[in-house]
């Protein structure tokens, strides 16, 4: 079902869609944004509103004669269930290691990363379930996401991965 409140700011939706589609090498395998017959189709998008992260799939926006877009449809997506986040440092590289459990029916998809005012937000979506019937088996997972810390000043920073937060020093 379309969550209209989360989709209220079109600018953020389009930026989030572009972020997910182009910010990570793993997304190179995902379908690109398509504009055809005045309908822009975005395969996936993450909306960050304060501490709330929402994932959507198959977003369609209609472009009117003035060039403005209006959302016509979207499907709720799911974020991975993250239980803990650790920081790994190697020389100049900072990685966020997220651990949790997922259903046997889904896979973990590449992360999207956003940075603003000392806070990194990482969204890790799950794939669409592989079928209608699935065994209720929880599978442990972990992901490693490199944080874009180049050019940041030394100091305290935080990272939130699907709502689980930790602090670290540069």
In a domain, 140, yes or no: yes
Residue 30: the pLDDT is 64
Residue 4 lies in a domain: no
Specify whether 90 is located in the same domain as 158: yes
Residues 87 and 160 in one domain: yes
Residue 25 domain-assigned? yes
Does 152 lie in the same domain as 98? Answer: yes
Q: Where are the beta strands (DSSP E) in the chain?
A: 34-36, 39-49, 52-63, 69-76, 81-90, 93-103, 112-116, 119-123, 138-147, 156-161, 164-169
What tens-digit pLDDT sequence spans the chain (170 residues)? 343 444 444 444 554 444 444 444 444 456 788 889 999 999 888 888 888 899 999 999 999 999 899 999 999 999 999 999 999 998 889 999 999 999 888 999 989 999 999 999 999 999 988 777 777 788 999 999 999 999 999 999 999 999 999 999 99
Which residues form the domain of 60?
10-76
Q: Is the pTM of this model over 0.75?
A: yes
Pick the last residue of a domain from 76, 107, 134.
76
Alpha-carbon span 62 to 71, nearest angstrom = 6
């Amino acid at each position: 079902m379309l969550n209209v409140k989360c989709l209220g700011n079109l600018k953020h939706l389009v930026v989030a869609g572009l972020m997910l589609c182009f910010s990570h090498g793993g997304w190179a395998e995902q379908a690109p944004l398509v504009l055809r017959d005045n309908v822009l189709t975005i395969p996936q998008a993450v909306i960050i509103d304060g501490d709330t992260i929402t994932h959507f799939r198959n977003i369609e926006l209609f472009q009117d004669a003035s060039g403005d877009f209006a959302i016509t449809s979207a499907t709720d997506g799911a974020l991975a269930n993250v239980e803990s986040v650790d920081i790994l440092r190697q020389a100049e590289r900072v990685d966020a290691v997220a651990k949790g459990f997922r259903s046997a029916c889904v896979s973990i998809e590449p992360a999207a990363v956003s940075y603003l005012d000392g806070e990194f937000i990482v969204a890790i979506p799950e794939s669409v379930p592989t079928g209608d019937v699935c065994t209720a088996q929880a599978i442990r997972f972990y992901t490693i996401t490199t944080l874009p810390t180049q050019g940041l000043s030394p100091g305290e920073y935080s990272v939130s991965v699907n709502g689980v937060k930790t602090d670290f020093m540069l």
